[in-house]
Amino acid sequence: MKFVIITGMSGAGKSLAVKAFEDIDYYCMDNLPPSLLPDFAKLWRESSKNINDVAIVVDIRGGVFFNDLFTSLEILKSEGLRYEILFLEASDEALIKRFKEHRRPHPADPTGRMIDAITLERQILKEVKEKADHIIDTTSLTNAMLKEEINEIFLMGHVQKKITISIVSFGFKAGIPMDCDLVFDVRFLPNPHYIEEMKDMNGNDQIVQDYVMKFDQSNTFLQKLEDMLKFLIPYYQKEGKTQLVIGIGCTGGKHRSVTISNLLAEIIEKDDYRTIVTHRDIFR
């Protein structure tokens, strides 16, 4: 029997998370006042109905009632109820974009500037985020990816490391992605674009990958990049970072950057990090 508390940033995907939990037979409730958590837990335990697992959304829509959350968590703990907190996160840019698309006011400050409301909400949620058992950054996740992540954690029992590595291949001609934490320029590698048979292919094609990686500098670069990231990632985790965005750029974003991004993702995944690969300019 599992008791999961879903919380996190407004616009980060809590409603989608509820649907994912419902699909794996959790009983779900949205926007429960935190003060009612102990009463609901008691009802759940004593219910004669066959309800094994529950997922409850608690967030700042409850207004001043959200302040009751930590008191309720202490009560649950004192009563011996084991719970897990799932915190959903996303970048400021992603949250602003989602709110604009849905034309909804932000619950933290419905009449003010969006960025100020998001900043305020981050402050309100800082403590509960620190207590979270699982943090999912949905900035680069599709709906299907979020569902897969929830399934892996709560259905398959996958132990989640609290950081997502997002690797973005891109072309410098179209500009550097705004959300990159680290950017690496691979334009020094030989360019398959000038090989006639590969010009219209991309780094997902094996022939292109073989060409890019047949050079010593390609393998040396990938090895050094692996060593640096293995050093850096644990420190980013220690500082509480939940998503690391790595940009790999070449001239057009089709051949070299795609190849290196794919191979880097394979390396990082061996250490059980959640890895997302996006090829921004592959079809430009």
Minimum mean pLDDT among 41-50, 129-138, 189-198: which range?
41-50
- Where in the chain are all domains bearing CATH 3.40.50.300? 3-154
Q: Whole-angstrom Cα distance, residue 73 to residue 3?
A: 12
Model confidence pLDDT, tens digit, residues 215-251: 999 999 999 999 999 999 999 988 877 789 999 999 9
Q: How far apart are the first and last CA of the chain?
A: 49
pLDDT at position 169 is 96
| Greater model confidence, 129 or 178 | 129
Q: What share of the chain is helix, strand, coil (3-state, %, to 5)?
A: 50, 15, 35
Q: What dotted CATH number matches 3-154?
A: 3.40.50.300
pTM for the predicted model, two decimal places? 0.68
The CA dihedral of 205, 208, 213, 214, to the nearest 10 degrees, is 130
pLDDT at position 170 is 96
Average pLDDT over residues 114-135: 89
Tell me if 134 sits within 8 A of 160, measured CB to CB: yes
Average of per-residue pLDDT values in the chain? 90
Q: Whole-angstrom Cα distance, residue 97 to residue 100?
A: 5
pLDDT at position 102 is 79
Count the neighbouring beta carbons within 10 Å of the beta carbon of residue 28: 17
pLDDT at position 158 is 60
Tell me if 192 sits within 8 A of 212, measured CB to CB: yes
Buried residues in 101-137 as b, exposed as e (16+ CB within 10 A): eeeeebebeeeeebeebbeebeeebeebbeebebbbb
Kindly state the helix (H) or strand (E) to which residue 244 belongs, with its residue range.
strand 243-250
| DSSP three-state, residue 160 | coil
Tell me if 54 sits within 8 A of 28, measured CB to CB: yes
Residue 196 predicted with pLDDT over 60? yes
Residues 6+ apart with CB under 8 A from 268: 165, 167, 229, 275
Q: pLDDT tier at 161 (50, 70, 90 boundaries)?
A: low
Average pLDDT over residues 101-126: 85
